[in-house]
Amino acid sequence: MDATSKMIYLKDYQQPAYWIKKTDLVFDLNQKHTQVTSTLHIVLNEFKPITTLPVLILDGKDLILKSVRINHEILSDTEYEEIADKLKIQPTEKQFYITIVTELAPHENTTLEGLYQSNGIYCTQCEAEGFRRITYYLDRPDVMAVFTTTLIANQTQYPILLSNGNLVDSATLPDGRHTATWEDPFPKPSYLFAIVAGNLMCHEDAFITKSKRTVLLKIFTEPAYIKECDYAMDALKRAMQWDEEKYGREYDLDIFMIVAIDAFNMGAMENKGLNIFNASCILGDSNTATDSVFQRIESIVGHEYFHNWSGNRVTCRDWFQLSLKEGFTVFRDQSFSADMNASTVQRIQDVNQLRTVQFLEDLGPMAHPVRPEKFIEISNFYTSTIYEKGAEVIRMLSHILGPDLFRKGCDLYFDRHDGEAVTCDDFVAALESVSQLDLIQFKRWYWQAGTPVVQGIGEYDKSEAVYRLHLKQYCPPTPGQIDKLPFVIPIKLGLLGADNQLLPVTESGETETVVLMKKSQHVLIFENISSKPIPSLMRDFSAPITMRFSYTRAELISLIQYDTNEFNRWESMQRLLVSIIHEIYEHIQSNQTIQIDAQLEVLFRALLTQDNHLNWAFLSELFALPTFTYLGSNLPALHIHHLYAARKAVKQHLATTLVDIWYEKYQLLNKITPYYPIAEDIGERSFKNTCLSYIMALQSEESVQLAKQQCVHSNNLTDTLAGLNGLIQSEHPTASVMRQSMLCELNTQWSNQSNLMNYWFSVQASDEKTALKHILELMKHDAFSLTNPNKVRSVIGSFCRTNVVQFHALDRSGYAFLLDTILKLDSINPRMSAALLSPLTQWKRYDALYQVGMKNVLEQILAEKNISVDVFEIISKSLS
Ligand code: B3K
Ligand code: ZN
């Protein structure tokens, strides 16, 4: 395979030679083979003068072509050409109908793209390029057609037949089969097409829109899970209401459907009027979903619903513009979740996600801009940069414009481009139109990759009573982009005075200001400052950058205690913890005795015993140690096992020195009350389980009993799993027996419930004591399957990402296992094998102890014949 010949460039974008105005599809779903008859109304695109009609080139993949007809004429096989995933035909008219019959084998399709079966249910996944696995088509997002879809299938096996839009016809056929026809009046690209056929039950409800239309809401699932749809249904209604209130967006069809599917490559898909969800992101009750799963369900239901406008009604011109819909929609779902839950906690979680995944992406071989300029396989670009950094870019725009103008800009964008396929520039242009702002420099965020660093230096002049803040920005090089131009960086800040009060920082006396840094250097001058202040920088994480400022530990402690910006209290705690854990890491690296700064215990104790109105959810974020990935992201030649030991030492230290408080708070919050996944209760449970996790680090017999009690007696999965996790993580000898019997019992209880078995697998695979041998046993379990992505993620994904101790074992057994697995999986499902590669791609950041083994695996995979283009792209970039 050759990387340059496969590369697709944004600069080469051209409109298609033909449009498809209308698409009629008939699916004859037969036990073995499915026949698809597609009739397309093709119309010449007269965007440029032509002398002869261009060739019509349709995309297809792994299709068996049965026949091609133009208008009423069947073509002989000399009248078309079928080569290299394309069907080529020379038209003789400017517009015509073409009818193509293809044959598929959905039951053999393990890629889970195009049409496939999950537990006997037919379903589809077409984004980004799955439609070409169904029929030959102009499978690109700027070709938008009106679709009519007919499904024919056996009535007993497939009583439910669904597609996009409204049901316009259905009938029973004489041979035990039945048929249903769906019509979607809104023109759409092929990636939003979907069908589902199967034995499903439906949870039904309705929503009345602001213009008083009734929309029927239906969630379909396998019959065993029908009781687990309530939470998602409520979340959907909240999302519909929220989009009307915050963006003025009303739903457009008379019916909105969601289907839960067990075998699904990602979280969910926003097909028009027929969202398809990974069962793990939609189903749940108190016994089968944890608090964080309920929050994830709410956010994904919102996300897919919001796509109806940001993505479906206004879509992307080409896949380079993916963040146009994804970044914007993540911003919308984050705002929705912040409104539904504790907003600071939501922001902390979003920032944590960005910093652990996206910042790392920027440090590695796959670093790319929010609007990439080239790719080999678009599936590799559904990244945290496109999604989460894209959302940060929209968030900055919303702050630069302010809420009213931002809303006006969005309204204009939706009105101006309704029914069109557009670019990120079009979105920014709408904001420029309403605000009269020139956002040309801001747009560098779209095309320059990398995480900018702002270095701040404070200079206090007592005689003048002036505080100067010198700011300098730079952005480290990323592949193909060595030098970067300065970004527009909104920096929200305040100054904490000597009396721990915020000082006025604007002429009108406000204690917070937002500075738009546009040049590489910037000096802020604050006058009448009577003593040296402590700057509270990047409040609410006002831009996706790294802010460097050498705070003393005492200054951080003041910010943690007295900053009025809750986000920055957490941020200062993270800075303090990072600095302490890094210090321990250095001790371990240089064989010194570990010494943990005593100020940490004093601070924790002070915060934990403060008698103020505590927000438990926030406290549990405040006392959470920085993630392992974040801690490792800036350490050169990272020694994984030493960093792991350093983090663990700090945890153990805090557990031991504060044991009385962890127990006291645990007892305070440990009450059995009816379970509701509402923000306040979630916060209490979350802090209680933070206490439990510190208690478990004591490694005492008593702690083991406590975890067991919680696991056995809880009335909800959050607490059961926290207890189980406690048992699993404990190194106390009693824990190992208990853990075994508990896992055995839960295996029996949960064996028929797919989502529960995912947790059962992943708690074990993530544990540092679970060696590879046990992973291989888990993979032989009846509930495990290499063809089910949730199972792959919960066993193999958890082992390779979370269980850093075992995966990075110095004998390289973890790497050899991943090599083996990727080679097996790549021919089954390339999306999954490519996703599993990520722990290896950053090999250059690690100590030589690890580097060689990781690099070897990448080289061995690359040397294999027939690896997927997905895997090829990632490895060839990692090795270059
Ligand atoms: N748009 C889909 C993601 C499709 C991924 C294709 N490989 C879900 C979402 O972001 O809403
Ligand atoms: Zn999305």
Report how far ligand 2's centroid is from the alpha carbon of 127 (Å): 10
| Closest ligand, as measured to the CA of 310 | 2
Task: Say what the pLDDT of residue 31 is.
Answer: 80
In 3D, which of 281, 303, 279, 304 has the Cα closest to residue 292?
281
Question: Where are the strands (E) in 609-714, listed by range?
Answer: none
- CB neighbour burial string for 218-254, b if at least 16 within 10 angstroms, e if fewer: bbbbbeebbebbebbbebbbbbbebbbebbebebbbe
Give Cα 488 to chain centroid, integer Å.
Answer: 26
How does pLDDT run across 831-842, given as a tens digit for each residue? 999 999 999 999
User: Cα Rg for the chain, rounded, in angstroms?
Assistant: 28
With a 6 Å cutoff on the Cβ, whether 362 touches ligand 1 is no
Is 269 touching ligand 1 by the criterion CB < 6 Å?
yes
Q: Which ligand is nearest to the CA of 829?
A: 1
pLDDT of residue 48: 86
Q: In terms of DSSP H, where are the helices of 436-565? A: 444-447, 553-562
Find the largest Cα–Cα distance for the chain.
Answer: 96
Per-residue pLDDT, averaged over 530-554, amounts to: 98
Alpha-carbon distance of 630 to 11, in angstroms, equals 35
Quick one: which ligand is closest to 381's CA? 1
Task: Return the ligand number nearest the Cα of 301.
Answer: 1
Atom of ligand 1 nearest to the CA of 311: 1
Confidence label for 672 from pLDDT (cuts 50, 70 and 90):
confident
Nearest-atom number in ligand 1 for the CA of 127 is 6
Is the distance from the beta carbon of residue 237 to the nearest atom of ligand 1 less than 6 Å?
A: no
Going by alpha carbons, the residue nearest to atom 9 of ligand 1 is 269
Residues 476/450, Cβ–Cβ less than 8 Å: yes
- 363-385 pLDDT tens trace: 999 999 999 999 999 999 999 99
Q: Which atom of ligand 1 is nearest to the CA of 831?
A: 7
Dist. CA 803–CA 765, nearest whole Å: 7
Report the pLDDT value the prediction gives residue 430, as an integer from 0 to 100.
Answer: 99
The bridge status of strand 73-74 relative to strand 114-118 is unpaired
Is there a catalytic annotation at residue 304? yes
pLDDT tens by residue, 319-357:
999 999 999 999 999 999 999 999 999 999 999 999 999
Distance CA 727, CA 188 (A): 51
Minimum CA distance residue for ligand 1 atom 2:
269
* Whether residue 381 has its Cβ less than 6 Å from ligand 1: no
Is 68 within 8 Å of 75 (Cβ atoms)?
yes
Q: Whole-angstrom Cα distance, residue 42 to residue 60?
A: 17
Q: What pLDDT is recorded for position 611? A: 67
Q: Which ligand places an atom closest to the C-alpha of 329? A: 2
The residue contributing the CA closest to ligand 1 atom 8 is 269
CB of 379 within 6 A of ligand 1: the answer is yes
- Cα of 267 from ligand 1 centre, angstroms: 8
- The answer on pLDDT for 186 being more than 90 is yes
* 127 Cα to the center of ligand 1, angstroms: 7
- Measured in Å, residue 300 CA sits from the centre of ligand 2 at 9
Is the C-beta atom of 386 inside 6 A of ligand 1? no
* 613-617 contacts, C-beta under 8 A, 24 or more apart: 615/342, 615/345, 615/683, 616/669, 616/683, 616/684, 616/686, 616/687, 617/341, 617/342, 617/345, 617/679, 617/682, 617/683, 617/686, 617/687
> From the CA of 192, how far away is ligand 2's center (Å)?
12
| Cα-to-centroid distance, 330 and ligand 1 (Å) | 11
Q: Which of 127, 261, 299, 375 to mutate to test the pocket of ligand 1 (most atoms within 8 A of CB)?
A: 127
Ligand 1 atom 10 nearest Cα: 326
What is the atom index within ligand 1 of the atom nearest the CA of 307? 11
Report the predicted TM-score, pTM, of the whole model to 2 decimal places.
0.98
Whether residue 426 is predicted with pLDDT greater than 70 in this model: the reply is yes
Note the pLDDT of residue 613: 65
State the Cα–Cα distance between residues 338 and 862, nearest whole angstrom: 43
Strands (E), 585-672: none
Q: Note whether 417 and 426 are within 8 A (CB).
A: yes
Decide: 322 in ligand 1 pocket, CB within 6 A.
Answer: no
CA of 23 to the centre of ligand 2 (A): 24
Q: Is the CB of 303 under 6 A from ligand 1?
A: yes
Instruction: With cut-offs at 50, 70 and 90, classify the pLDDT of residue 6.
Output: confident
Asked whether 325 lines ligand 1 (CB < 6 A), one says no
- Residue count (the chain): 880
Question: Ligand 1: which atom is nearest the Cα of residue 270?
Answer: 11
3-state secondary structure of 703: helix
Q: For residue 669, is pLDDT > 90?
A: yes
CA of 132 to the centre of ligand 1 (A): 17
At 250, is the secondary structure helix, strand, or coil? coil
CA of residue 381 to ligand 1 center, whole Å: 10
Test site for ligand 1: of 123, 269, 301, 379, most ligand atoms within 8 A of the Cβ: 269
Of 304, 361, 555, 566, the active-site residue reads 304
Residue type for position 25: L
Determine the atom of ligand 1 nearest the C-alpha atom of 128: 6
- In angstroms, the CA 546 to CA 125 distance is 37
CA quadruple 425, 426, 428, 434: dihedral sign: positive
Tell the residue nearest (CA) to atom 5 of ligand 1: 127
Amino acid identity of residue 668, one-letter, is L
Residue 300: CB within 6 Å of ligand 1? no
- Kindly give the distance from the C-alpha atom of residue 325 to the centroid of ligand 2, in angstroms, as a whole number: 7
What atom of ligand 1 comes closest to residue 266's alpha carbon?
A: 5
* pLDDT greater than 70 at residue 452: yes
Atom of ligand 1 nearest to the CA of 378: 7
Within 10 A of 504 (CB to CB), how many other CB atoms are there?
17
CA of 346 to the centre of ligand 1 (A): 22
pLDDT > 90 in the chain, percent = 97
Pocket probe mutation, ligand 1, options 266, 276, 315, max atoms within 8 Å of Cβ: 266
Contact between 193 and 147 under an 8 Å Cβ cutoff? The reply is yes
**Candidate from 281, 321, 326 with most ligand 1 atoms within 8 A of CB, to mutate:** 326
pLDDT of residue 310: 99
Ligand 1 pocket check for 266: Cβ under 6 Å: yes
